[in-house]
Amino acid sequence: MPLTHPLNFSVGWTLVLLAFLTGAAIGLFFHREDFLGGYASFRRRIVRLGHIALAALGMMNVLYALSPRPAPGAWNEPWATNLWILGAVTMPLVCFLTGWREPFRNLFFIPVTSLVAAVVFTLIH
């Protein structure tokens, strides 16, 4: 099966690899009750969300890479391609930054807006 969006394929699998690596790194400390403030702490939950976002949004980029829509060369194709990548990179980044310093949570509008727009541009044909 030919790749419709090869950049998203590469970025997607890179994000999955990063998910495995970050999972291994933070997994080294999960046995500690007080890690990132304890099991139910906001910091620990948001870091876990960042790790999962890497895997999930990486796979969404791979899925988009195999998708026939939007067709390469269509006016909305570069928008969809770039917004899938922007959202997939910024969502875990904002999660990890928020785990470090809570005011970074105000930046969640960037990945959310990017991903919503990516889906819309993917659906438009």
Q: Tell whether 1 is covered by a domain.
A: no
Output the pLDDT for position 39.
87
Regions of the chain with pLDDT less than 50: none
Q: Is residue 107 part of a domain?
A: yes
Per-residue pLDDT tens digits for 81-103: 999 999 999 999 999 999 999 99
Which pLDDT score, from 0 to 100, does residue 32 have?
86
User: 32 to each of 44, 109, 115, 124, how far by Cα in Å?
Assistant: 12, 32, 34, 48
C-alpha 50/C-alpha 56 separation (Å) is 10
Longest alpha-carbon distance in the chain:
52
Look up the domain containing 12 and give its range.
6-123
The dihedral formed by the CA atoms of 2, 66, 113 and 11, expressed in degrees to the nearest 10: -70
Output the CA–CA distances (angstroms, integers) from residue 50 to 1, 47, 79, 98, in the order listed: 31, 5, 24, 10
Task: Give the helix ranges, DSSP H, for 2-108.
Answer: 6-27, 42-66, 77-100
Helix (H/G/I), strand (E/B), else coil: 75: coil
* Assigned domain for 38 exists: yes
Indicate the DSSP class of residue 41. Answer: -
Q: What is the pLDDT of residue 100?
A: 96
Cβ burial of 71 (10 Å; 0-12, 13-18, 19+) is: exposed
Number of domains in the chain: 1
